[in-house]
Chains A and B, each alone.
Chain A
Amino acid sequence: MSTESKPMHFIGAGETFMPPSYSPWAQTWHLLLKNRMALAGLLIFLIFFIVAIIGLIVTGGVDPILDPARVRLQEKLRPPLSLPKTDTLRKEELPALGIYLLGTDDLGRDVFVRMLQGAWVSLTVGFVAVGIAVGIGILLGGLSGYYGRLSIRLYHILFWSLVVTVAGFTFHQRFWAAALLLTVTITAVAWKRRLDSRLLPLPGPLRWLAMPTLQVDTLIMRAVDIMLCFPSFFLILTVVALLPPSIYNIMVIIGLTSWMGTTRFVRAEFLSLRELDFVAAARALGISDARIIFRHIMPNAIAPVLVSATLGIASAMLTEAGLSFLGFGVPPPHATWGNILSDGKAYIFDAPWLTFIPGVVILIVVLAFNLFGEGMRDIFNPKLRERN
């Protein structure tokens, strides 16, 4: 072959004949714009968010602009868009908007104002519950996926039993015993750390303390199995019924009973990601575990977790509504869409708006979350991504 060649000036002179490269976020946004159902979901979600915040402002505080708890017995069960009878109401009882936009309930409370207040409550229930579930899920799933092969040794168990005992003594006000045990624990930990820093093993007679028992992964996954044995709605119902009724209990319980899916998912992501070359390369460079987890693995695993969180919010809101229906929901005076709906069921033939307004609103908002979440799931699906 001839060795003469032309200068390669035309290579890399700005013409690459490759598609322009977009950042992943720009790409996501582009795909989202094409998915009209997901976009509609996002839009409704944003509106709902704004309404919930407005609702918090106008119905909260000691003397709210719109009082959701104002009872007007002479005005009960008025249909939507009816005007108040000004002659029978005292001045402070008049609705601030001058009209019952969505009617009144059996106590003459303004349904529109109650719905406004309920928006915030429903939003918090959804977000806090899912926040707890996702938090636990990421923590346990990450531990299980990244440190899963490490063994729990006897001294770990010993340490935690000591901690629990100390807590127990403190709780029962035996402070001396607690202090004594705490000193023992701290000394033991300090001693072990010093051994570790010198890379020394435990001395012979204590070697049995280092005996491995279970693997971290086994422990966490068995815990997931155990939790999955409880029918979730039944479990939530049981616990909610046993605890004093409160909005916070409901959020926490929904959260504590729905972390298993996220845990399994995050674990699977971590397991596959930690085997990939970029993680191996990072480890070869001596980068710390924390940095590998938070800088290299987490960004790759987080998007699908957030997607399932969106779907989780939808289902948490439905669960709250279901609990309210059975009479275990958020207690008064908080109005939630669930309890407005379940209060309305007694008047379903006389005042159908009491059922239909909260029912349809819940439907729309939950639908928005579901459409947005499923749309994002499609968008993050790598098989769909490749095609563009």
Chain B
Amino acid sequence: MNPEPHSDLLLSVKNLKVHFQGVGPVAKAVNGVDFKVRRRQTVCIVGESGCGKTVTALAILGLLKQPPAVIAGGEIFFDGLSLFDLPASQMRNLRGKRIAMVFQEPMTSLNPVFTIGDQVGEAVLVHEEVSDDQARRRTIQLLYDVGIVEPEKRLNDYPHQLSGGQRQRVMIAMALACEPDLIIADEPTTALDVTVQAQILRLLKRLKQDKEMAIQYITHDLGVVAAIADHVYVMYAGVVVEQGSADAIFSKARHPYTMALLDSLPTKEKRGQRLYSIPGSVPHPAYRPLGCPFHPRCRYCEPSCEKAFPDFFDYGKGHEARCPVLYKSGVGEKDR
């Protein structure tokens, strides 16, 4: 059972493995992921596309399509409840009420044939015994909270009448409907313009403070991480390779992959220089290399890396990385 019941630990994912069985060999999309989200904390999960971030999020909510997905191992605890052992009806009550999700594509994530008032109101009505009128007032308040101007008039709009940023605000309003403990935001700003992106991030930060929620924020964009994260998990090829506070990750990254990601970020200091790009590409989930999954692209690779995938090395204050080479040599430690 959960080792820390009723503590400030909200979500803990232990050794989660999700495989996909399609045509051909098994794709191990998530291959042993551990992470924790504490109450009122913003946790960022960073990684390139295809590294298993979204699959992890869907597994938490029980939204994976099985088949082709198979939960091959691991446990998820939410506030003391083991989610994989929960009956379907209780899982359903959890979704939307205590864990809510904001998806990547606001363009396609809203149902085109219902008004936004219907869709936000539905999220309220499904979990709470309120009259239609109360639900309507709540909806207006929610839309107001997420910064929709004149929410009374917008209630009867259809999604196609809104801009991308407005739709994402509606999605967030829907997620907020029952004041959940945890919001999982899966790249909510990727499909939006940069200016809108900044607005949405500010909104999420403000809401987190007002409503005392935890946010699990999934992104590939380190700039976004810098803006909102308390704690960061870096994922590569279905596993977490490094974790630590946002400060630790940005100032003293201890895994070659994290370092490479940071190097490929354009900054003021690097003006005029050729930007770094990681050689090669992310391995296909069904054809991962043995040993450390990053070794074929790693500039610090040693023969031992091709044989076994090392465990975490502790750097103190919750900062851990899975690279023995850097741990032993201390390469790059002083550069940051």
Contact = CB atoms under 8 A, between A and B. Distances in A.
In the complex they form, do A and B come into direct contact, defined as C-beta atoms under 8 angstroms apart? yes
Interface string A344-388: 000000000000000000000000000000000000000000011
Given A1-B332, A6-B300, A388-B23, A19 B280 contact: no
A34 B287 contact: no
B332 A6 contact: no
Given A1-B259, A5-B299, A11-B297, A17 B22 contact: no
A30 interface: yes
A387 B276 CA distance: 32
Contacts, number: 49
A63 interface: no
Nearest to A5: B299
Nearest to A18: B284
A8 B23 contact: no
Contact of A17 (B23, B24, B262, B289): B289
Contacts of A16: 280
B296 A10 contact: yes
A8 B68 CA distance: 37
Chain B residues touching A, range: 20 to 34
A148 to B, nearest CB: 28
A31 interface: yes
Interface in B283-305: 283-284, 286-289, 295-297, 299-301
B272 interface: no
A6 B299 contact: yes
Contact of A30 (B23, B300, B301): B23
Contacts of B301: 6, 10
Interface in A2-35: 2, 5-6, 8, 10-12, 15-19, 30-31, 34
B68 A387 contact: yes
Interface string A265-303: 000000000000000000000000000000000000000
A15 B296 contact: yes
Contacts of A31: 23
Contact of B24 (A1, A12, A388): A388
B283 A17 contact: yes
Given A1-B262, A10-B301, A11-B280, A388 B22 contact: yes
A17 B332 contact: no
Contacts of A18: 281, 283-284, 287
A6 B289 CA distance: 19
Interface string B6-43: 00000000000000001110000000000000000000
B306 to A, nearest CB: 9
B129 interface: no
B279 interface: yes
Contacts of A10: 295-296, 301
Interface in A310-368: none
A17 B331 contact: no
A11 B262 CA distance: 21
Contacts of B332: 1-2
A34 B296 contact: no
Contacts of A388: 22-24
A18 B332 CA distance: 31
A17 B287 contact: yes
Task: Name the residue in A1, A16, A19, A34 with the highest tally of chain B Cβ atoms < 10 Å from its Cβ.
Answer: A1
Nearest to A8: B279
Interface of A: 1-2, 5-6, 8, 10-12, 15-19, 30-31, 34, 387-388
Interface of B: 22-24, 68, 259, 262-263, 276, 279-281, 283-284, 286-289, 295-297, 299-301, 331-332, 335
